[in-house]
A = this chain, B = another copy of it.
Amino acid sequence: MTKDYVERAKQIDLNNRAMFQAAPETMGGFRKVVESVGSDGALDAKTKEIMALAISVAMRCEGCVVYHARAAFQKGASREEVAEALAVAVEMGGGPAAVYGGEALAAFDQFADA
């Protein structure tokens, strides 16, 4: 009964597309936010993606955990880097972050194996 994170990420992609069609101006502005974060700067894009994953875990956002676990993998984050970011999330979020961190790790492993 393991969760299929690859499938879950695809559902989120579909939902995102529907959101863009339903609220194009708002989501267009938000896309600019996402793009600005996705480019290298004083911090490189990979580090910022790992940071987004840690925030997702600390905020207990299940869909975001899946989405940013995939993105972190795609940007070349190592499992060790992800684990350290999850440790920061546990510092900032206690037990709930441990639960969502475990989810993040399981998702990352699935994307790495896919």
Q: Is A67 in contact with B99, judged by CB distance below 8 angstroms? A: yes
| Contacts from A to B (Cβ < 8 Å) | 1-4, 7, 11-12, 14-16, 18-19, 22-23, 25-37, 41-43, 47-48, 50-52, 54-56, 58-64, 67, 78-81, 83-103, 105-106
Given the interface pairs A59-B58, A81-B43, the reply to whether A23 lies near B95 with Cβ below 8 Å is no
* Cross-chain contact A96 with B54 (CB below 8 angstroms): no
Q: Given B11, B43, B90, which contacts A27 in the complex, CB threshold below 8 Å?
A: B90
Closest 3 CB pairs of A and B: A15-B102, A29-B32, A94-B94
Chain A interface, DSSP helix/strand/loop, else mixed: helix
Q: Looking at A32, A50, A91, which has the most chain B CB atoms within 10 Å of its CB?
A: A91
Residue of B61, B79, B81, B95 touching A60 (CB-CB under 8 A)? B61
Known A-B contacts A42-B80, A42-B84, A103-B15; A90 and B51 likewise in contact (beta carbons under 8 Å): no
